[in-house]
């Protein structure tokens, strides 16, 4: 499964490895082993060792999930040991928290490269960079373009909002940041993943925030509880109606190309190249999900 395919990404605390089997059996597109916020300082080494043991023997792409590890921040004493522990062929993405500059990304990329060389890892491990501070937000586009390993940007509200006293459910603030991070990712031609929603007892709030993110072009959303996975998949996986429309549009674009037409009409709407590219992306996603037969 490509690392870009995460309508839902389920966090699993690194200190709770017994939860991994259940997470891998879930409908989540991606699993994120968390060595950072979900792990108490006194258990960092234990969580790191568990992640190492899980990933060291895991063949690439063997679980059907995108495998992510959120390491501790680059300025912490845990970062170097975290990367050494988890940089194995089975890892798809290193989630870099509290990213604030291109140098943070480049430092992480250099460490990944060192272990890939030493361990004979042929497929580069990607970086999912978190935007969760005022400085990181201001430099989001620079972070997104800092290194070819950056596959996506992930928005984080807790570290950004709480120190500033901003209400997590202040919709205007949430939407403004969602758009800013999506545009930064767009400048780099990479995807964006929406933030976790902390209120497990508010599925309607989760859905509303996820739907707003999808309308802004986000690829998926983080989930902190298994109950949120189905909601995220429902929002971010293409519907039958969307797939049918995209298939019609792609087919019409082929006919238009044969006829030498740059603009054409599908379902009463004028269509040109940007609409075709989006339709092609929807069809490709549907194929990866098994919702459309292979071409």
Beta strand spans in the chain (E)? 8-13, 30-34, 66-70, 93-96, 126-131, 150-155, 191-194, 220-223, 264-266, 269-271
- Write down the pLDDT at residue 45: 97
On the question of pLDDT at 2 being above 50, the answer is: no
- Write down the pLDDT at residue 1: 35
Q: Compute the average pLDDT of residues 54-63.
A: 90
At residue 4 the predicted structure's pLDDT band, cuts being 50, 70 and 90, is low
pLDDT per residue as tens digits for the range 123-138 = 999 999 999 999 999 9
Q: Is 118 left (phi over 0), alpha (psi -120 to 50) or beta?
A: alpha
For 281, what's the count of Cα atoms within 13 Å in the CB-facing half-sphere? 15
On the question of pLDDT at 88 being above 60, the answer is: yes
> b/e map of 184-221 (b: 16 or more CB within 10 Å)?
bbeebebbbbbbbbeeeeeeeebbbbbebbbebebbbb
Question: From CA 79, how far away is CA 214, in angstroms rounded?
Answer: 32
pLDDT per residue as tens digits for the range 144-190 = 999 999 999 999 999 999 999 999 999 999 999 999 999 999 999 99
pTM of the entire predicted model = 0.89
Percent of the chain with pLDDT over 90: 76
């Amino acid at each position: 499964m490509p690392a870009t395919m995460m309508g839902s990404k389920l966090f699993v605390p690194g200190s709770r490895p017994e939860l991994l089997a259940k997470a891998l059996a879930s409908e989540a597109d991606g699993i994120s082993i968390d060595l950072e916020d979900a792990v108490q300082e006194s258990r960092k080494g234990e969580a790191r060792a568990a992640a190492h043991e899980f990933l060291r023997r895991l063949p690439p792409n063997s679980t059907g999930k995108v495998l992510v590890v959120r390491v501790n921040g680059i300025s912490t004493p845990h970062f170097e040991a975290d990367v050494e522990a988890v940089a194995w062929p089975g890892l798809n993405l290193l989630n870099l928290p509290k990213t604030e500059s291109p140098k943070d990304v480049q430092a992480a990329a250099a460490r990944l490269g060192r272990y890939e060389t030493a361990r004979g890892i042929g497929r580069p491990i990607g970086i999912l960079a978190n935007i969760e501070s005022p400085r990181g937000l201001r430099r989001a586009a620079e972070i997104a373009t800092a290194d070819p390993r950056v596959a996506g940007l992930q928005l984080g509200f807790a570290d950004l909002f709480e120190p500033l006293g901003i209400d997590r459910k202040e919709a205007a603030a949430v939407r403004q940041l969602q758009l800013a991070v999506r545009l930064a990712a767009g400048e780099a031609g990479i995807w964006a993943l929406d933030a976790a929603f902390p209120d497990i007892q508010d599925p309607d709030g989760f859905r509303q925030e996820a739907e707003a993110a999808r309308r802004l072009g986000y690829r998926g959303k983080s989930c902190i509880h298994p109950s949120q996975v189905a909601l995220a998949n429902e929002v971010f996986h293409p519907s039958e109606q969307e797939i049918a429309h995209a298939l019609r549009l792609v087919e019409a674009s082929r006919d238009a190309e044969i006829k030498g037409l740059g603009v054409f009409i599908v379902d009463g709407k004028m269509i040109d190249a940007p609409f075709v590219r989006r339709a092609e992306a929807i069809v490709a996603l549907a194929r990866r999900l098994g919702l459309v037969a292979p071409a």
